Chain A
Amino acid sequence: MREISYARAGMEALVEEMRRDPTTIHLATDAPPSLVEEFGEARIRATPITENAFSGIAIGAAGSGLRPIVNWSMVTFCFVAMDQIVNQASKIHYMFGGQQTFPIVFRSSVGGGTSLAAQHSQSPYSMFMNLAGLKLILPATPYDMKGLLKSAIRDNNPVLSFESTRLMGFKGEVPDDDYTIPLGVADVKRTGSDITVVALAWLVHEALAAAEEMAKEGVSVEVVDPRTLFPMDNETIRASVQKTGRLVIADEAGPTAGAAAEIAALVTEDAATFAALKAPPKRVCALQVPIPYSPGLENHVFPDRNRIIAGIREVMAAG
């Protein structure tokens, strides 16, 4: 099968869905020339630098029959649009009694590792998990990127697509034919029997490397990628932990009130899964600080395969 990059897979999903559905439009501060060439300036809008306005415009356009795809570029820039995301997009369907659908995709890149310092190295998805009314995808492979983004564009709700900066050039197999991946279905990226590592985005790959390393020591690691943060596939995660009895959660975001905390809670509050635990779950996350600039500092803050290995060893030793 052909291999394409994570970024390319996202572009293919966008282009194919825009061909499929003439009601799709694209709003971003830059209009990619290839898109303008194919779809024209009417559908591919170069907006002024007005994240608040063009996020709101997407909501109004969605409520009036279009299917806007917004690209905030970095997640950093969506914070000036928080009113539209938090007060409007997440609630508008519910608040109006379900009378209208608001199919919108908001794309943005997340994560660090590129010495861009605090403002441009953020992974704030748990802030949005805490709102009811948004769906959230976080793909880790080109295959997942394409299939999830297509589902997001076809979904009748606002969907936030968080896309890992570190993975943009990462290549993987993607079939030529049209496919989608349903939202809310986790993927077991590697099966194992001794310990479950639930990993997000870039850390899926670090967890797979850690699993390879641990296999040499005779520890069988299962790697689960939730792929969507809302809806979260509780069943797959719980089933894996019931099988292995041990859990490490790896996330590039900080641990406090984060996705990792939510995953720990959904495992421990379920009686059957709790009963199967042989050791306390362990979070392997970024340190809870703004992301620093200098490479030595930045590397110290982010989790990686070595910290996942250390986490696995700790949990294995605990029981």
Chain B
Amino acid sequence: MTASPELQREMLRQMQTIRRFEERASDDYHNGAIYGVVHCYIGEEAVAVGVCSALNKDDQIISNHRGHGHCIAKGADLNRMMAELYGRQDGYCKGKGGSMHIADFSIGMLGANGIVGGGLSIVTGAGLAAQLEGKGRVAVCFFGDGASNAGSFHESLNIAARWKLPMLYVCEHNSWAANTSSRMTHARDDVASRAAGYGIPGVVVDGNDVLAVYEAATDAVARARAGEGPTLIECKTYRWRAHTERPGAADPRPLEEIAAWMAKDPIQHLVDDLKQQQGQYSDAEFQALDDAVMSAVAAAVAFAEASPFPAPEAALDDVFAD
């Protein structure tokens, strides 16, 4: 199914929001307002947005260490995201999670996760719950090419295929796991081809083309809702920034490789698509969109700054539920 012009504009807004949010997160990390570690999603925005645009609010997703984009695409509140990065009381996790653990169960965002491959089985459990509930919900796993080599990938896909769980496994193949090229680690570079071993569809899409991602996801969601089981979708994409924002961290990736992918900017790709649709889009319109996005990000920072740090004793809260 192709996306309506309105939906395409909404996708553009979300992608630009992710881009600007990440730029700000990076800046604020470097100026000390955000702690620990931040993994930026810049360059991969079309994957999260394309997939989540094919979902309903009550569908569920799980993310990995590079999770801000998935949160935003699933509809998370920028204010509470930024407050979490700032370690504040009004953050999604009351300052207990930080960048690698933002979750919002109320919108079906089951959390970022600091363990590579850790989310694969957890979200498969959400798929099992969706199947037993029988209301047509689906569950989606976002994971990297690095995670695709973990044992949990095989265990989870085999189970999901055998049980025909309503799931999408979305591999963000950016060719690097931290500072290791997938050429060094993958027996075969395509991850989607493994789907054959589980008897499920394996689809390769241009992960920088949000409309292509959306179409692949829409098909897979329809299949899942129809009770036909999971789909493995491999999105070829690239991260523009180093693995983490940590100062001085090595980035062994060739500059020409980075430049070549930056020339395939997923946001520019959609702007071009919109323009091609005969006068549907103007530069002024994009400028207005960006202004609105910038003020939403600025408002999120203001919200975060206004939120108090949690009381130290709050460290003892929420170890157990009542």
Contacts and interface: CB of A to CB of B under 8 A. Distances in A.
B151 interface: yes
B101 interface: yes
Contacts of B211: none
A97 B91 contact: yes
A207 interface: no
A257 interface: no
A160 interface: no
Interface string B94-106: 1111000101111
B110 A63 contact: yes
Contact of A58 (B123, B125, B318): B125
Contacts of B126: 60-61, 63-64
A104 to B, nearest CB: 10
Nearest to A84: B121
B110 A93 contact: no
Given A50-B155, A56-B118, A93-B320, A100 B105 contact: yes
Contacts of A88: 113, 115, 118, 122
Interface in A188-219: none
B125 A99 contact: no
B159 A57 contact: yes
Given A88-B118, A97-B97, A60 B128 contact: yes
B140 to A, nearest CB: 12
Interface stretch (B29-37, B129-137, B280-288): B129-137
B21 interface: no
Given A48-B159, A53-B121, A57-B124, A96 B129 contact: no
Nearest to A61: B125
B230 interface: no
Contacts of B156: 53, 56-57
Interface of B: 60, 62, 91-97, 101, 103-106, 110-111, 113-115, 117-118, 120-130, 132-133, 139, 151-152, 155-156, 158-159, 162-163, 317-322
21 contacts: A48-B162, A53-B155, A54-B159, A56-B122, A57-B124, A60-B110, A60-B122, A61-B126, A64-B125, A66-B128, A83-B115, A87-B115, A93-B318, A93-B320, A95-B93, A96-B105, A97-B318, A99-B104, A101-B321, A102-B321, A156-B322
